[in-house]
Each structure stands twice: as C-alpha cells, then as structure tokens.
Amino acid sequence: MRVTLMLCDHAQVAEGKLFISGGGWSVTGPTPSPSALAIKIEVPWDQANTPIKFALELVDQDGKPVKQQGPLGLQPLRVEGQVEVGRPPGLVPGTPLDVPLAIGVTALPLTPGGRYTWRLELNGRTEEGWQLSFTVRRPPGQAHATSPRAEE
C-alpha cells in the first residue's frame, strides 16, 4: 500500500476526496492549537473488499508514546479504526483504490522545542514513509535549552 500523509490546520473527507485547509506544515506552536492529519491510502486492486485496520500514534523525539489524560488516566495518544474499500463498477482492472482519511487532533500541550512524530500502522505493520514529524516552536525570547539527556 502507498500512503500520503500531511499535517494541516483542518481536513475533512467528502465525496471520496480530502479537503485540506492550512496544509503542509512541519512547525507549530508554541501555543497549543487544533490540527489535523490528512491521509490518503492507495489500496492495491487485489486488496479491495478486505478490511484494513489502522492505528496512528504520536511519539516524542525519543520514540516514546505521548500520553494524554483521559477517563482512565494517562494513556498513549493513539487513534485506531478500520476501513474497507470496494471496487466501483466500470473501474479498469488493476487501478489502485483511494481511501481518504481526515483525523482531527485537539490542541495538545506539547513541550516547546520538542520534536514529535505521527506513526501510521496498517494491518499491524508500518513503513518508514508512513510517518510524519513536526517541531513545536519555543516562545519568543526563550533560549535553546539543553535536553536532560545531554546533561547526563
């Protein structure tokens, strides 16, 4: 499967298409603000009518899951679901099938100066190209702090 990922201010799916506003950024903040992930999955012809499980997880620069407070306490920030695409009548055999997804993300209190990565899994596997990284700006005038790891 081929996957295209994009960070944006807002995304939605309508009529089988992605509608993206404020897309293509890789630096945000420092103030937390809502965002979205626009995802296009190209499903090979021979995998039509087969459920595809997906999971999207946010990790920090050390590869550790970012945790958010939820009803059960601190939980990794993870979105899971399942999609399935059928072959429309008249489509030329062998044509890949598009699955557009728009995942809205609430304003996250992420560490200024931090680097984060959204990782996508499809049917329990991932590829290097199925991830998308971004940086959170430091507030104006804040010096670059050394990471605790560098001081060890």
Distance CA 80, CA 97 (A): 21
Task: Sketch the domain layout of the chain as residue ranges.
Answer: 2-140
Q: Are 4 and 102 in contact (CB under 8 A)?
A: no
Query: CATH for 2-140?
Result: 2.60.40.2550
Q: Report the pLDDT value the prediction gives residue 143, as an integer from 0 to 100.
A: 62
Tens of pLDDT, residue by residue, the chain (152 residues): 999 999 999 999 999 999 999 999 999 999 999 999 999 999 999 999 999 999 999 999 999 999 998 888 999 999 999 999 999 999 999 999 999 999 999 999 999 999 999 999 999 999 989 999 999 999 987 765 544 443 33
Q: Where are the alpha helices (DSSP H) in the chain?
A: 148-151
Angstrom distances, CA of residue 121 to CA of 71, 94, 106? 25, 24, 21
Q: Report the pLDDT value the prediction gives residue 144, as an integer from 0 to 100.
A: 59
Distance CA 7, CA 116 (A): 12
- Of 88, 139, 151, nearest to 110 by C-alpha is 139
Distance CA 120, CA 57 (A): 7
Q: What is the DSSP letter of 143?
A: -
